[in-house]
Chain A
Amino acid sequence: MLLTRKAAGRTEPVNPLARAVSALAAKTVDRRAFLKGAGLTAGAAAFASQLPLNVVSEAKAATKTGKTEVKRTVCTHCSVGCSIDAVVTDGVWVRQEPVFDSPLNLGAHCAKGASIREHGMTENSHRLKYPMKLVDGKYRRISWEQAINEIGDKLLQIRKESGPDAIFWVGSSKHSNEQSQMLRKFVSMFGTNNMDHQARICHSTTVSGVANTWGYGAMTNSYNDLQNSKCMFFIGSNAAEAHPVSMLHCLHAKETGAKMIVADPRFTRTAAKADQYIRFRSGTDVALLFGMLHHVFKNGWEDQDYINQRVYGMDKVKAEVLAKWTPDKVTEVTGVPEAEVYAAAETMAKNRPSTIVWCMGQTQHSIGNAFVRASCILQLALGNIGKSGGGANIYRGHDNVQGATDVGPNPDSLPGYYGLAEGAWKHWCKVWGVDYEWMKSRFASKAMMEKPGMTVSRWIDGVLEKNELIDQDSNLRAVVYWGHAPNSQTRGLEMKQAMEKVDLMVVIDPYPTASAAMPDRKEGVYLLPAATQLETSGSVTASNRSIQWREKVIEPVFESKPDHTIMYAFAKKLGFGPEFVKNIRLVKDKTGWDEPLVEDMTREINAGNWTIGYTGQSPERLKAHMRLQAHFDPKTLRCTESVVDKETGYDIKGDYYGMPWPCYGTAAVKHPGSPVLYRTDLKMMDGGGCFRANFGISKDGETLLAEGDSHVKDSDITIGHPEFDHVLMKKLGWWSELTPEEQAAAEGKNWKTDLSGGIQRVCMVNHNTHFWGNAKARAIVWNFPDGIPQHREPLYSPRPDLVAKYPSHDDKKAFWRLPTLFKTVQKKALDDKVAEKYPIVLTSGRLVEFEGGGDETRSNPWLAELQQENFVEINPKDAADRGIKYWDWVWVKTPTGAQLKVRALVTERVGKGTSFVPFHYAGWWQGKDLLDKYPEGAAPIVRGDAVNTGTTYGYDSVTMMQETKTTLCNIERA
């Protein structure tokens, strides 16, 4: 008798408890069939015969002999930021323990965090161990000195011949805050803005859309704050697999009475926990959200007082939503019946405070900037922003993508979102201790210095596009992949071409990544081993903006080096060594190399980032928080009692855990951090705030400043007001409250450029006033392609009939230095009848076992064993139509001409006409295993075809985000 239900559409019975000892075990119900034959073959029989158990070192257990220390660090995978206690004996990482004290994760981990010790294991390691050079098609080991010299010479040569803009630097969301800001500085000093990192392809649309709505583009509340919600709406977020530990807070909330709604084209593992699940067509978020908003307005559920006081333009939005997004239109576009849309709207409205959670499902579209804004507008209408339990809970990806976005290698801004105008450069030159004129001289011209660079999603076009069409002198001749995988970006076929065309490719990473194996080249590629964040110290910013400090667990393994050490070595070689570390002391590391002191780099972050309040989180406060985690309340994130840190004498009373930015003012001012943004019911020094006055004082005769009674609690200014500068301070008579030193620094400056922090201090401490102004959020962002979010069909739309009604944008001639097509591509897809030949929507996303491009996690045997082959989720009806059975080999064919060989996972998880492939695989190329193209001993254990080898052209109209969530494919038996 079977103890499980037969899922409809399955062709054979499944018994999860049946297994055979021999190689070909039976299939289990779930896809994690690690008892299958593949287990014993793919993993190498060598593993199985390693019993007795493999011991990492002969060191006895911690309680017996050997010097044992416990180092506290933070998981390096996702943005939840789970703390880990690493037990180290004689310099070997022997064990890890959960940190129950942490208010963020309370000791919990997902598969990745629970297995992270593997990164420090040197036996059978798949790490990139030594610098390597591609010689006659094979990777040969070279010395660091040779590597730095040869690469440096080549970069200098290219710079001389073609200008500094001829090199593209792909930075990392896995660098610490310190390394991130240093990388921004490094590439600036090299002389170009051609740099980027994972945020581009992750939440770039979020940052832009949300910041333009109300001030900052970050998560407004926190994972913990879900516990205070009455209703949680997940749209385009599969938190159960992408942010598993966040589900601790979510499910706790659900237990205590909160409702949960999940909207996703797939019935994800998150949807399995929902009270209501909405299956809607990928790429139709505006229609769905505005369909819900339609019911909100129709039933008068909106918070009219809140809108009157704190929102601009909602009346126009209301008029448009009521007229345009009637239930029939919504159903036509999304495929969702009216009753379901109504139910979701009602639940959100009647169970406030309610929160929206989104992730890549919303962002990775050609109109991602519109999707995120539609979510913001819904929350503004319901009055949920600035409330605990409400908010726009943006779940960021990599462990430090938030930090890297805030202070790191962005093509369009210096650290802190200061932008690239002359004033911004002058501010940062001052902070970095270098002469502005010198910095300017490093660039090809002032114009290039102030022009945003290309993006990681398009660097390939910087190489391949015709020179006369790109908005810089030279094409790209070199690319440096510094902590970034290539298989997370679309258009893999063209990426391979670009990688083959460049003069030089450098990969700096703890693992070779797919970049090492993808191109067919004989030479011109270098691989440099970087240390992971577990082999160095530094700060990391979680998605909720809390900053945590990582202690160094072990010395860098093999010949790897921390990224900032590598940066300094290159800075010296490239001619700006002293400038690079002007305010930063150097220490000798264990290999005799100069390492920039981490805490000095932290202080340089504190010295410059006044815009986003990265100024108050000094190393001392951060470290004290890590030691005293147990005293922070998991629901409010606050420590209310007096607790003194023994090492520093610092009292954490009043602080919020990790001092979530903004933590305004200097550390001495002791701002506690801001766990919930825009809260007017709290005083400034309790983390309160309001919407930013960043868009002007008025628009079309309407005021943009806050109205009615809306102001930060107890503020001396109770009406809406613009942002503060020295002029306003003087007008108000507050200037005299600054100390003489502060006045000297603040003269002629505003709240962002006053390096003393005096303006911030006086405003918030003495007057409870927000120096960034008190304004309205914008429901209409007039500087965006669509002021009010519009639905536009994806470029590769499965609905040609709707393309005519909802066409994409006009093409752009020079957008982030490159011509960018919208309508042309969409029209060609129609003309070529792509939707008929490729009738299945292809979407991609995450698995819990792997992370990002995946080479790192697929090199960890404990994770790799769980997901050994790439697969495509295909609906049983689509499978039956094509004669495909569960776990057959199939070809996923896309309009690019690429074909990917994967297993067929026949499941009702995806609806008819939709398919899903995880994006973490790489190491195959259209069915062919690239194992021998990796350096010896450094290939991931599990390899597979990368979905992005076949994904198509499509970019967001504001940020150049790639349209990975909606393209088309067909699937055939192999």
Chain B
Amino acid sequence: MARMKFICDAERCIECNACATACKNEHEVPWGVNRRRLVTVNDGVPGERSISVACMHCTDAPCMAVCPVDCFYRTEDQIVLHDKDLCIGCGYCFYACPFGAPQFPQAGAFGLRGKMDKCTYCAGGPEENFSVEEFRKYGRNRIAEGKLPACAEMCSTKALLAGDSGVIAKIYKTRVVTRGKGEEIWGWKMAYGGSDKVSDNLGVKA
């Protein structure tokens, strides 16, 4: 059974923002709502890396766990979606999500936030597939057309991969094996300080 995921290959990501604008384009996302965005670490110095971040469609989604009105659901492909008609804009999902995926269109008085919006993995939402209602509320439904998320399909360097986890893991593995090394971005030292180079920390020849 398919399990849809994203992987962003930080060795390839050049922070070009194609993923961000592809999403805006495909779903006509308004100003101020950013379903997908680029995050850069070590901006401007050796060791700079960028990652494209949106909803990760978590297997154990914190947003789903904390929602007081139970507006989240998971499709058969493990895509996490929600019903905007039910959403009360409380913002709990926003606080729970470690990736900042939930977006709110308003910053009004009394904490008025409007309906939560987020990456739908280009799978629309709980409306009739391809209907105007679905497009208005959630954006386009590419998955039902047999297509994959616009962000990954338009990525300039094919850093961002989307698809069934097994399939994209294999693509990613090909790159890692061909490249001869993994990401130079993860690890204890990166998170908590230390040398920029994984190789230094592992005592491995660069």
Question: Residues on A close to B: CB < 8 A?
Answer: 3-5, 7-8, 16-17, 19, 21-23, 28-32, 34-35, 39-40, 43-44, 47-56, 58, 60-61, 63-64, 95-96, 98, 100, 106-115, 117-118, 240-241, 244-245, 247-248, 251, 254-256, 267, 269-270, 272-273, 277, 848-849, 861-863, 865-866, 873, 907-909
Q: A53-B29, A908-B45 are in contact. List 6 more A-B contacts (CB 8 A).
A: A29-B40, A61-B130, A109-B156, A117-B25, A247-B157, A861-B31
Decide: A267 near B46, CB < 8 A? Known: A30-B39, A40-B32, A109-B156.
yes
B42 and A7: CB pair below 8 A?
A: yes
- Do the beta carbons of A240 and B100 come within 8 Å of each other? no
Q: Cβ of B25 and Cβ of A53 under 8 Å apart?
A: no
In the complex, what's the smallest C-beta–C-beta distance from A931 to chain B, in angstroms? 17
Distance (whole angstroms) from the CB of A911 to the closest CB of chain B:
11
Interface window among B11-19, B59-67, B69-77, B162-170 = B11-19
Residue numbers in B under 8 Å from A277 (CB-CB): 46
A61→B32 contact, CB < 8 A: no
Cβ-closest chain A residue relative to B117:
A51
Given contacts A5-B42, A848-B17, contact A114 B25 (CB under 8 A): yes
For A40, what are the chain B residues with a Cβ–Cβ distance below 8 Å? 32, 107
With A and B bound together, what is the CA distance between A50 and B106 in angstroms?
A: 10
| B173 on interface, CB distance cutoff 8 Å | no
B113-134 vs A, CB cutoff 8 Å, 1 = contact: the mask equals 1110100000000000011100
User: Contacting B18 at CB < 8 Å: which of A19, A61, A114, A254?
Assistant: A114
> Across the interface, do B16 and A244 meet the contact criterion of CB distance under 8 Å?
yes
Contact partner of B130 among A64, A96, A106, CB < 8 A? A64
- In the bound complex, residues from chain B placing their C-beta under 8 Å from that of A4 are 41-42
Question: Judging by beta carbons under 8 Å apart, are A60 and B105 in contact?
Answer: no
B residues 91-106 with Cβ under 8 Å of A?
91, 94, 98-100, 104-106
Among candidates A39, A241, A908, residue contacting B31 with C-beta atoms closer than 8 Å: A39
- Residues of the B chain whose Cβ atoms lie less than 8 Å from the Cβ of A32: 15, 17, 37-38, 40
Contact indicator A108/B107 (Cβ below 8 Å): no
Closest to A25 in B: B107
> Is A53 touching B193 in the complex (CB atoms < 8 A)?
no
Q: Given that A16-B39, A47-B30 are known contacts, is A110 also in contact with B17, CB under 8 Å in the complex?
A: yes
Contact of B25 among A16, A43, A862, A909 (CB under 8 A): A862
CA distance A63 to B158 in the complex (A): 28
Of all chain B residues, the one with the shortest Cβ separation from A51 is B105
- Is B83 an interface residue, CB under 8 A from the partner? no
Bound Cα distance from A56 to B157, whole angstroms: 29
Can you name 28 A-B pairs with beta carbons within 8 Å? A21-B104, A22-B107, A30-B15, A32-B37, A32-B38, A34-B34, A40-B32, A43-B31, A47-B32, A48-B32, A49-B106, A50-B105, A53-B138, A60-B131, A63-B145, A95-B140, A111-B17, A111-B21, A113-B154, A115-B21, A241-B16, A245-B157, A248-B158, A255-B178, A272-B46, A873-B44, A907-B44, A909-B43
Residues of chain A contacted by B158 (CB below 8 angstroms):
106, 108, 248
Give the residue name and chain of the B residue nearest to A246 (CB).
B156
Identify which of A28, A35, A98, A873 contacts B153 (C-beta below 8 A): A98
- Contact A865 B15, CB 8 Å, known A32-B38, A95-B26, A277-B46: no
Q: Known contacts A53-B27, A60-B130, A251-B12: does B107 contact A245 (CB below 8 Å)? A: no
Q: How far is the CA of A17 from the CA of B19 in the complex (A)?
A: 18
B132 pairs with A60, CB closer than 8 A? yes
- Chain B residues near A110 (CB-CB < 8 A): 16-18, 156
| Residues in B neighbouring A255, C-beta threshold 8 A | 175, 178-179
- List residues of chain B with CB within 8 A of the CB of A34: 34, 37
Find chain A residues with CB under 8 A from B104 CB: 21
Contact among A29, A53, A267, A873 with B136 in the assembled complex (CB-CB below 8 Å): A53
Question: Given the interface contacts A5-B41, A30-B40, does A866 sit within 8 Å of B156 by beta carbon?
Answer: no
Residue among B21, B26, B34, B156 making CB contact with A863, cutoff 8 Å = B21
CB pair A48–B11 under 8 Å, yes or no, is no
Are B31 and A47 closer than 8 Å at their CB atoms?
Answer: yes
Determine whether the beta carbon of B45 is less than 8 Å from that of A53: no
Most-contacted residue by chain A among B12, B32, B137 (CB, 10 A): B32
Q: Closest B-chain residue to A23, C-beta based?
A: B107
Size bracket, chain B contacts: 35 or more
**What residues on B are CB-neighbors of A22 within 8 Å?**
107
Other-chain residue from B14, B21, B26, B130 in contact with A269 (beta carbon distance below 8 A):
B14
Contact A862 B145, beta carbon cutoff 8 Å: no
- For residue B8, CB closer than 8 A to chain A, the reply is no
The residues of A that contact B20 with a CB separation of less than 8 Å are 111, 862, 866
Question: How distant is B198 from chain A, measured CB to nearest CB, in Å?
Answer: 14
* Top-5 shortest CB links A-B: A47-B31, A909-B44, A111-B17, A30-B40, A115-B21
Q: Does B183 belong to the interface (CB within 8 Å)?
A: no
Say which residue of B100, B113, B145 sits within 8 Å of A19 (CB atoms): B100
Complex Cα distance A873/B22, Å? 28
Q: Which residues of A contact B145 (CB under 8 A)?
A: 63
A52 contacts B137, CB within 8 Å? yes
- The answer to whether A115 and B24 touch across the interface, beta carbons within 8 angstroms, is yes
Q: Which of B31, B42, B156 contacts A48 (CB 8 A)?
A: B31
A34 to B11, CA, bound (A): 24
| CA distance in complex: A269, B48 (Å) | 8
Contact A272-B48, Cβ < 8 Å, known A21-B104, A29-B39: yes
Write the nearest CB–CB distance from B116 to chain A, whole angstroms: 10
- The chain A residue with its CB closest to the CB of B39 is A16
CA distance in complex: A862, B31 (Å): 7
Residue of B nearest to A50 (CB): B30
Please state if B32 and A248 are interface contacts (CB–CB under 8 Å): no
Whether a CB of chain A sits under 8 angstroms from the CB of B191 is yes
Provide the B175-193 mask, 1 if CB < 8 A to any CB of A, else 0: 1001100000000001101
B41 partner residues in chain A, CB cutoff 8 A: 4-5, 16, 29
**B22 surroundings in chain A (CB, below 8 A):** 109, 114-115
Q: Which chain B residues border A865 with CB–CB below 8 Å?
A: 24, 31-32, 34
Shortest C-beta distance, B194 to chain A (Å), equals: 9
Q: Is the CB of A55 within 8 A of B136?
A: yes
Q: How far is the CA of A862 from the CA of B157 in the complex (A)?
A: 20
User: How far apart are the CA atoms of A31 and B99 in the complex, in Å?
Assistant: 19
Cα–Cα, bound, A5→B195 (Å): 11
Chain A residue, CB-CB nearest to B102? A21
Cross-interface CB contact of A7 among B25, B38, B43, cutoff 8 Å: B43
Tell which of B130, B135, B136, B157 has the most Cβ of chain A within 10 Å. Answer: B157
Complex CA–CA separation, A50 to B32 (angstroms) = 10
- The CA of A244 and the CA of B98, in the complex, are separated in Å by 29
Q: Are B16 and A53 in contact (CB under 8 A)?
A: no
Complex Cα–Cα for A50 and B137 (A): 11
Give Cα distance in the complex from A972 to B156, angstroms.
37
A residues within 8 A CB of B38? Answer: 30, 32
**Residues from chain B with Cβ under 8 Å of A866 in the complex:** 17, 20-21
With A111-B20, A267-B45 as known contacts, state yes or no: A51 contacts B30, CB within 8 Å.
yes
Cβ B157 vs Cβ A21 within 8 A: no
Which residues of A lie under 8 Å from residue B55 when comparing CB positions?
A: none
Chain A residues, Cβ within 8 Å of B150:
98, 114
- Whether A17 touches B43, Cβ cut-off 8 Å, given contacts A110-B16, A272-B48, is no
Is B200 an interface residue when CB atoms closer than 8 A count as contact? no
Nearest CB of A to B1, in Å: 26
- Please judge, given known A-B contacts A4-B41, A21-B113, A39-B31, whether A63 and B130 are in contact too, CB under 8 Å: yes
Q: Which residues of the partner chain A approach B136 to less than 8 Å between Cβ atoms?
A: 52-53, 55
Residue from A19, A64, A109, A848 with most neighbouring chain B CB atoms (10 Å): A109
Best-surrounded residue of A17, A49, A113, A865 (most CB of chain B within 10 A): A865
Contact of A55 among B115, B132, B138 (CB under 8 A): B132
Contact A111 B137 (CB under 8 A): no
Partner of A113, one of B18, B24, B157: B18
CB–CB B179/A107 < 8 A? no
CA distance A34 to B157 in the complex (A): 23
Cα(A199)–Cα(B44), bound, Å: 30
CB of B155 within 8 A of chain A?
Answer: yes
Assembled-state Cα–Cα distance A907/B48 (Å) = 12
